[in-house]
Structure 1
Amino acid sequence: MAGVPIWSARLCSALLIIFFGCSEARSFGIDYENDTFVLDGKPFRYVSGSIHYSRVPNQYWKDRLTKMFAAGLNAIQVYIPWNIHEPFQGQFDFSGQQDVVAFLRLTHSIGLYVILRPGPYICAEWEFGGFPAWLLKGNNDIQLRSSDPRYIKAVDQWFDVLLSEIAPLLYVNGGPIISVQVENEYGSYFACDYDYLRFLRQKMIDILGNDVVLFTTDGDGVGYLRCGTLEGLYTTIDFGITYDPAQNFNVQRKWEPRGPLVNSEFYTGWLDHWGESHSHTDAAAFAKSLDLLLAYGANVNMYMFEGGTNFGFWNGAEYPPFKAIPTSYDYDAPLSEAGDITEKYIAIRQVICKYYPPPPIPIPPSTPKFAYGKITMNLVSTIPDYLEKYTPGGPIKSKYPINMEEIDHYYGFVMYRHILKDNVSWPTTLDIMGVRDRGYVMINQIPFGIIEREKNTTVNIKGVIGDYLDILVENQGRINYGDNMNDNRKGLITNVTHNGDALTDWLIYPLLENITLVQSFNLKHSYPRQNGLLSTPALYTGQLVVPKKAPHPMDTYFDMSLWTKGQVWMNNFNLGRYWPAAGPQIRLYIPKPVLNQGVNTVVMLELESSPCMHDTNCFVTFMDQPLINGTVHTSVGHHHGKLSHHGYLPSV
């Protein structure tokens, strides 16, 4: 590229707009004759990195963006997850952590351009690929990512709101957004509905105008681009480490004979799954490949540059087979989950500095971490003990089980209760084919086994008339990619059968998504019942005391190595899921903004087996180092279910 530093032009441009306003027309477009983007009439190339504002605490947005700028990037790429902004149909949220406008303005003030990917589908290993789960309510046969009128109506209303928010932030209007993606890797989806793509293209033109670069992204294979591209949209591709850029870009050239070469997702690492080893991409190999791409003249976006965290219930899942994404979305990115500088970051910066002058700021330091040590955990209650407290709206009565979407309970946990109408002798098989995704079967709080989606769907039970048959179901995250996204209902989606007969008359308890909102934990309780390796799902609480002086609080890590599987909250903030019994993630990241000086309250929902059955082990530990590459146990899900299926007489 020409000799003007990539940071210099855009920084001066940003400062001029901030302090003096837009004195002349701004433009961003494509020069097909010279195979380049043009910014205000001059050749332009971006070296970009992906960051998801939904995965980074808003108090840390500036820290992460500044580090990206200091790496030599001149742009960021960002997805907009529909489901965090419209959690219920017609109810929009652009405040606090959801304030995407503030995020984009902050990006602009730092001197970075924005490549925007508003969806409506984003994938991103995010819950339901960014779709709100209410799309499924009452629409058992809805066809997502198509011209289905029900889907189009919802997208139309969402884009009316979203695109109106971002239009003032387009580069031509004085903002940082230089290009906008239409859909997302649509060529990987079975629908191949060009009318749907035309609708999205026209919707964006109607609200954003004709002078914004609209583009698509697909894999670097002819089969992907056949259905992923459309006239009027610039075709880009994505691929990982390569040693022959010409071969990869030959595919783009079949659709775009002239114009800039673009890799919209140059993979710095890869995603993880529970029960599989942590993904790792060699820093030197990645840097060498980046060097080749830049030498070839390509525009590059590195996915991810900062991975972040799937706080709460926001992780996605892949299928088939069903594999949930862990809480950490570290991605082996140049900036770690906690925003720390890595070897890969330094290697990338060195490559960029071969082509452009060093950035005008030094590399910011990593955020400090602190090991706060052990705290004791205490039993609050089992889940069956206080169902009414954990479901303040009370149960829903139904002849047959109802999925979570139909009761407006989209995330977390739901308890299905049936009161036995007959004596059930041992061993009697209960068949629960339609569990989405993992269920804990109990009779009067005694655990009888775990059922799993498409793995272990039967369990042996025994009981007498009047006993409570409880099935606590965990929604482990909706499928975010592939042809099965329409099959994303959660809870129990089919009948529960006993000796071939469907059980009727159910009480359905949607547990609070933030179970820590229960007003009092001073409850009388029974102790969890044990059966083999399992114990009754239960809540535990403890207090972390943080020094009341600077520099505290600091980032820390929640070590779960003695626990099995569950969910954890800190000061009412949902840190996410833990599952050290599966791995590879053993410790959860706790960012500084979640903590207070003084007393901090921890609440844990342990689903399977608590170390508190042995008093000396009833604790958790706060560490100053992550552990996301721990030992994996691929058979953990089968183990409990197999024991339950073959059966052993519970101790009552």
Structure 2
Amino acid sequence: MMKITLPFVTNLICACLVMCENAASESGTFSIDYKNDCFLKDGRPFQYISGSIHYFRIPRFYWKDRLLKMYMTGLNAVQIYVPWNFHEAMPGVYNFSGDRDLEHFLDLANQTGLYVILRPGPYICAEWEMGGLPAWLLQNPDIMLRSTDPDYLQAVDSWLAVLLPKVRPWLYSEGGNILSVQVENEYGSYFTCDYNYLRHLHNLFRVFLGEDTVLFTTDGNTDKEMACGTLQGLYATIDFGTDTNVSAAFDRQRRFEPRGPLVNSEFYAGWLDHWGDQHAQVDTNKVAGMLEEMLSMGANVNMYMFEGGTNFGYWNGADHDTRYRPVVTSYDYDAPLSEAGDPTDKLLAIKDIIKRFRAVPEGPMPPPTAKFAYGFVTLKKVGRMSSLLDILSPQGPILSPNLKTFEEMKRYYGYMLYRTKLPKMLHDKTPLISPLNGVHDRAYVSVNGVYQGLLERDTTLAVNVTGQQGDQLDIVVENMGRVNFGSKINDYKGLVSSLFLGSDVLTDWQIYSLDIDEVIASGWPHSGGLDLSLEPGSEAFDGPVFYMGTLEPMGLAWDTFLKLRGWTKGHVWINGVNLGRYWPQRGPQQTLFVPGPLLSGSQPNNITVLELERASADARVLFMDRAQLNSAAGGS
């Protein structure tokens, strides 16, 4: 164990004297000085003060704005993950364009004057769907993720053979701004503890990134995590938050990395929310105080998150400790920059601390983006999901005696509809049961179009139904996000085990893979051809129902926040883009962030809502100029 002494502190503080340099435009060197316990950049001591930001949670239009705000706070680096499933949604089909343009983001960071700490996975956690691993891996039911399983390694090798050559030109030694690269992510928290897997990745990263690139690991503040997540040849760093004794945590890093710089790779400036939780908040004074303590020791610090952003679409992850807990749509994280990228009091406090250790750029902080309260919009019913299958599933159902998962159907995200017939007359209420907890994750049950209730993973394993023999039983299953952390990341979706109706096992299924996002992106339901004569609020439907409306142009396209007060749970699309899930009854999140670039100031803006249980009585939604993320939790 290392004892922190005054000469040690003085030696590391010298790094602060040279931190006002801009990101390099010429080739240089970045290395570890084990003798003097610091990083060296171009042969001189270097200390980074970094913040995490996820390009995949922020619209491309706003990347430059967020990076500039980080730079003006006094940061000299940003830390980013690369989510494998965001770039290879189908095997061998790669997408690095638009909001997935990683190299453009690296270029903007370089132009802004920020170095990059790169965390390319293959697993990232990040409260992201399946921790960044693509769901198509689960087509192999026997695959052992994050191990030396040959099938898993083959997929990993193919992916990294595409990704790592893209990032190599951005290494600092190649004239770019990437200082160091993490191998895997928090591997010590995973049960396999497979050192051969880490060795395989280490060799792969060396082949593609060269022998001189600084490679590192990050693990939690326990001996077990550090023991299973570290490997000789990979520099071991640690992560911890404000509830931790700084000296004790760095002493633990020293037990696994006796010499070299102190590094907190994830200093938790905030925390995440699950549906049904209270909104997480981390005290600003504690964040500022601990940051000052670490910087005064000469430590390198990355604040996780500096801006969280949004889990648009279906990209939120979930935890599963004692039960399944999905992450909310907002990834605000109580971060120094809000979900909408606005500076907070926490950011100003952090900036004041950084000023004590390095020169902070002069000039004003970029202001918050413009917000506008567009007001109420009344929606009209389009129809029940079950009556729209010709549109939502034009390929029709597959017929199967047994249930199939999302993965078997190659419908990895969103929704599927399972249909069969009641095998007998149900004079009395009869339980539809998932005895093996096989509903992943919520199922909305109807008989002949009449909503009966729902099943929910880990909490509601039975619902009573009635009907006649031969009646149509529809079960719409929602994937609420795959587990992103721990031993349960092999998280199959759909009806993953048999359903019983009373004592009868249900068989002979029609299974509809629903192309909801593709259909809405093509213009439906606003493209016409629908009878929308129903008045808003009349003939209330329960169960999965589509609604539509239009936000009329107002000559501007500013950020706004959508509130669905009185609605229960579902999804929202604006101009064909999936904003994510709403669930105001469960909370704490009450509004969805609507980035201004999604809106038109001159053309009607199409709103599509899939309400899964029951809409508000007046079928109105409200566009506000502020977020509401902090309601009391509770209720279903």
TM-score bucket (shorter structure): over 0.9
- Contact 1:391–1:511 (Cα < 8 Å) also in 2: yes
Counterpart code for 2:213: V
Greater mean deviation of Cα atoms: 274-283 or 354-363? 354-363
Is the counterpart of residue 393 in structure 1 residue 395 in structure 2?
yes
SS in 2 for 1:535: coil
Counterpart code for 1:193: D
Counterpart code for 1:478: R
- Contact 1:7–1:72 (Cα < 8 Å) also in 2: no
Match of 1:523 among 526, 530, 538: 530
- 1:525 shift after superposition: 7.7
Counterpart code for 1:29: S
Q: What is the root-mean-square deviation of aligned Cα atoms in Å?
A: 1.8
Residues 148 and 527 of structure 1, relative CA distance in 2, 3 Å threshold: farther
SS in 2 for 1:575: strand
Match of 2:615 among 604, 607, 610: 610
Residues 112 and 632 of structure 1, relative CA distance in 2, 3 Å threshold: same
Is the counterpart of residue 446 in structure 1 residue 450 in structure 2?
yes
- 1:513 shift after superposition: 4.0
TM-score (normalizing by structure 1)? 0.92
Residues 400 and 55 of structure 1, relative CA distance in 2, 3 Å threshold: same
- Contact 1:559–1:620 (Cα < 8 Å) also in 2: yes
- 1:8 shift after superposition: 3.1
Residues 526 and 479 of structure 1, relative CA distance in 2, 3 Å threshold: farther
Q: Write out per-residue CA displacement over residues 354-401 of structure 1, whole angstroms, 9 at most, x where no aligned residue.
A: 111121442111101000001111111111111121112211111111
- 1:455 shift after superposition: 1.4
CA distance in structure 2 between the partners assigned to 1:227 and 1:360 by the alignment: 44
Residues 382 and 237 of structure 1, relative CA distance in 2, 3 Å threshold: same
- Contact 1:411–1:513 (Cα < 8 Å) also in 2: no
SS in 1 for 2:551: strand
CA distance in structure 1 between the partners assigned to 2:442 and 2:317 by the alignment: 15
- Contact 2:403–2:509 (Cα < 8 Å) also in 1: yes
Residue in structure 1 matched with residue 74 of structure 2 by the alignment: 72
Match of 2:513 among 506, 510, 519: 510
CA distance in structure 2 between the partners assigned to 1:378 and 1:40 by the alignment: 63
CA distance in structure 2 between the partners assigned to 1:429 and 1:146 by the alignment: 41
- Contact 2:20–2:359 (Cα < 8 Å) also in 1: no
Match of 1:47 among 46, 49, 64: 49
Residue in structure 1 matched with residue 476 of structure 2 by the alignment: 472
Unaligned ranges ≥5, structure 2: 1-12
Residue in structure 2 matched with residue 9 of structure 1 by the alignment: 21
Is the counterpart of residue 559 in structure 1 residue 563 in structure 2?
yes
Greater mean deviation of Cα atoms: 468-477 or 390-399? 390-399
- Write the mapping of 1:130-529 to structure 2, written as runs, cut at 5 A: 130-137=132-139, 139-241=140-242, 244-320=245-321, 321-432=323-434, 433-486=437-490, 488-514=491-517, 515-516=519-520, 517=522, 518=524, 520=527, 522-524=529-531
CA distance in structure 2 between the partners assigned to 1:120 and 1:361 by the alignment: 39
CA distance in structure 2 between the partners assigned to 1:403 and 1:266 by the alignment: 38
- Contact 1:382–1:525 (Cα < 8 Å) also in 2: no
Counterpart code for 2:605: N
- Contact 2:549–2:606 (Cα < 8 Å) also in 1: yes
- 1:547 shift after superposition: 1.6
Residue in structure 1 matched with residue 601 of structure 2 by the alignment: 597
- Contact 2:217–2:230 (Cα < 8 Å) also in 1: yes
- 1:9 shift after superposition: 1.6
- Contact 1:417–1:506 (Cα < 8 Å) also in 2: yes
Residue in structure 1 matched with residue 6 of structure 2 by the alignment: none
CA distance in structure 2 between the partners assigned to 1:202 and 1:382 by the alignment: 53
- Contact 1:385–1:526 (Cα < 8 Å) also in 2: no
- Contact 2:180–2:215 (Cα < 8 Å) also in 1: yes
Counterpart code for 2:467: G
How many residue pairs get aligned? The number is 614
Greater mean deviation of Cα atoms: 460-469 or 341-350? 460-469
Residues 559 and 418 of structure 1, relative CA distance in 2, 3 Å threshold: same
- 1:420 shift after superposition: 2.6
- Contact 1:7–1:111 (Cα < 8 Å) also in 2: no
Residue in structure 2 matched with residue 56 of structure 1 by the alignment: 58
- Contact 1:381–1:524 (Cα < 8 Å) also in 2: no
- Contact 1:385–1:525 (Cα < 8 Å) also in 2: no
- Contact 2:15–2:46 (Cα < 8 Å) also in 1: no
CA distance in structure 1 between the partners assigned to 2:528 and 2:276 by the alignment: 33
Counterpart code for 1:608: E
Counterpart code for 2:133: F
- Contact 1:382–1:527 (Cα < 8 Å) also in 2: no
SS in 2 for 1:427: strand
Residue in structure 2 matched with residue 109 of structure 1 by the alignment: 111
Counterpart code for 2:567: W
Counterpart code for 1:499: G
Residue in structure 2 matched with residue 650 of structure 1 by the alignment: none
CA distance in structure 1 between the partners assigned to 2:385 and 2:19 by the alignment: 55
- 1:5 shift after superposition: 5.7
Residue in structure 2 matched with residue 544 of structure 1 by the alignment: 551
Residues 391 and 243 of structure 1, relative CA distance in 2, 3 Å threshold: closer
- Contact 1:245–1:296 (Cα < 8 Å) also in 2: no
- 1:456 shift after superposition: 1.1
Is the counterpart of residue 94 in structure 1 residue 99 in structure 2?
no
SS in 2 for 1:9: coil
SS in 2 for 1:584: coil
- Contact 1:449–1:534 (Cα < 8 Å) also in 2: no
Residue in structure 2 matched with residue 649 of structure 1 by the alignment: none
SS in 1 for 2:192: coil
CA distance in structure 2 between the partners assigned to 1:243 and 1:231 by the alignment: 26
CA distance in structure 2 between the partners assigned to 1:481 and 1:553 by the alignment: 37
Residue in structure 1 matched with residue 625 of structure 2 by the alignment: 624
Q: Write out per-residue CA displacement over residues 578-603 of structure 1, whole angstroms, 9 at most, x where no aligned residue.
A: 00010000000000111011310000
Counterpart code for 2:136: W
